[in-house]
Amino acid sequence: MEKQYSAKEVEEKWLKIYRENEFFHANVDSPKKPFVIVIPPPNVTGILHIGHALNSTIQDVLVRKARMSGLNTLWVPGTDHAGIATQNVV
């Protein structure tokens, strides 16, 4: 075990595994039962708080469990649901 955590090394390792196994893709022709979570990004008109992290963490756990259970899983974070509010702020 390394003395110091290296986020760059860890993220590169796991990103490679996720890409090789196509974990960022769902197969529409799969005979497996589908499991999908689509989440919006935090609204730009508000202030980030611990609830945002909790919500994302819970969804991450649910998606990983579904995938490990053999479901055809897709988690789509960051879809925009509030275009008008975003345009007003930006």
Using CA atoms, how far apart are residues 26 and 71, in angstroms rounded to an integer? 10
Using CA atoms, how far apart are residues 27 and 74, in angstroms rounded to an integer? 9
Domain extents in the chain: 7-89
Cβ proximity of 71 and 34 under 8 Å? yes
- Reported as a pLDDT band with limits 50, 70 and 90, residue 16 is very high
Cβ proximity of 32 and 81 under 8 Å? no
Both tokens of 13, joined, read 């390792």
Residues constituting the chain: 90
pTM > 0.85: yes or no: no
Count CB neighbours of 26 within 10 A: 17
- pLDDT digits 0-9 by tens, 31-66: 999 998 887 666 666 677 888 788 888 988 999 899
